[in-house]
Structure 1
C-alpha cells in the first residue's frame, strides 16, 4: 500500500471537523474543499484567488504544482458569479485545463464565502 501523508493547512475548521487540507497517497494528491479564509469580504474573483493561493500552498507541501492538477470542483453560492470565478480559475488553469466541475449550492460553511474549490493532482 502506498504511503499516506496528511498535509495540514491553516483553516480553523480542520481540528473541529477532523480533516487535512490535503492528503497525498503515492503520487496522488487530494486537496479538500477550500474556501477563501481571510478574504470573506472580497469580490468573487479575489475570493477565488485567495482560495487558489491556499490550494497552491497545500500542493507545494505535497511536492506538486498547479501543472499537476487533473481535476477541480468549484462550488458557487451565486449563479451570477460563474463567469467571474471561471475567468479567475482560467488565470491559473487556462493552459493546464484540468477536468472541472462548477456547481451552484445554497450555502457554504461560511455564509460570506462565494466559492469553495477542491483539487486533485497526480505527480509524474
Structure 2
C-alpha cells in the first residue's frame, strides 16, 4: 500500500474547507492553490511580483516537508486577477523556475477569495528515483 503524506500550514481554513497544503502519494506531490497569506495577513498588497515570490517560497517549503524540491516540479498553474500584470508574475516565476522549466499555465480569473489577492498558484511535482523519501 502506498503511503500518503500530507502537509498542513496551520491555516484556520484547512479543517473548515477540508484540504491540505500538499499531499504526496508515492512519488507524486500535489500542492494546493496557494496565495500570499501569512498569519492571516496578505503579503505584498497591491504587488503581484511580491505576492508571487511569497507564494513560491510557501510552495517550496511545502515540497520540502514531503521530501520534494522545486527541481521536482513538473507543472504550475497560475490564477491571476489581472492578466495585464503577467510580466511581473512571470518574472517571479522565472526566478524560481528558469532552469527547471515546468509546464506552466497562467489564466485570468474573475476573483480570488480576497479582493487584495492577485495571484494563486498550484504545483505538481514528481520525485525522481533516488530522490528523498
**TM-score of the aligned structures, taking structure 1 as reference length:** 0.95
- 1:123 corresponds, among 110, 127, 133, to 127
Partner of 1:54: 58
Partner of 1:81: 85
C-alpha contact 1:14 1:20 (8 A) present in aligned 2: yes
Tell me the CA shift for residue 40 of structure 1. 5.1
CA RMSD of aligned residues (A): 1.1
C-alpha contact 1:40 1:112 (8 A) present in aligned 2: no
Partner of 1:23: 23
Tell me the CA shift for residue 81 of structure 1. 0.9
The structure with more radius of gyration: 2
Distance between the aligned counterparts of 1:59 and 1:32, measured in 2?
A: 11
Tell me the CA shift for residue 5 of structure 1. 1.0
| Post-superposition CA distance 1:15-53 (Å, at most 9, x none) | 221100000000110000000003051511000011111
Partner of 1:6: 6
Partner of 2:95: 91
Structure 1 segments of 4+ aligned residues over 4 angstroms from their partners: none
Partner of 1:109: 113
Distance between the aligned counterparts of 2:12 and 2:112, measured in 1?
A: 15
- Which stretches in structure 1 are left out of the alignment for 5+ residues? none
